C-alpha cells in the first residue's frame, strides 16, 4: 500500500473535477480525498496499491477530466492508513 499526493494545476475548480476524481478513485478501490485550494489547484491524496494509484494518476492527466489540467505534480509516499473512504473536501 502506498500514498499518492498529486497537485493538479489548471482550470480544475468549479467544473466537477473533485466529483469526477472521487468517482475514478472509488472505481479503483482507493481511499483519500480531493480538495480545492485558494490558489486554484486541487490536491488529490489517495491510498491503495501502486497500480491503482498509477491508474488514477493517468486519469488525472487524461483528456477526459472536467475542466483543463495543465500540470500534475505527484509524489508517492508510504501509506499512513488514516483514510477510510474517498471524499471531496
User: Using a CB cutoff of 8 Å and minimum separation of 24, what contacts does 19-22 make?
Assistant: 19/88, 20/65, 20/66, 21/56, 21/59, 21/60, 21/65, 22/86, 22/87, 22/88
18 is catalytic: yes
Catalytic residue selected from 3, 18, 22, 24? 18
Catalytic residue selected from 3, 22, 24, 36? 36
Which amino acids are annotated catalytic? 18, 36
Amino acid at each position: 500500500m502506498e500514498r499518492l499526493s498529486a497537485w493538479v494545476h489548471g482550470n480544475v475548480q468549479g467544473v466537477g473535477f473533485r466529483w469526477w476524481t472521487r468517482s475514478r478513485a472509488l472505481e479503483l478501490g482507493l481511499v483519500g480525498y480531493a480538495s480545492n485550494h485558494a490558489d486554484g489547484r486541487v490536491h488529490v491524496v489517495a491510498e491503495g496499491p501502486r497500480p491503482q494509484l498509477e491508474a488514477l494518476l493517468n486519469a488525472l492527466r487524461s483528456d477526459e477530466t472536467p475542466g483543463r489540467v495543465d500540470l500534475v505534480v505527484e509524489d508517492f509516499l508510504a501509506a499512513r492508513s488514516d483514510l477510510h473512504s474517498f471524499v471531496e473536501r
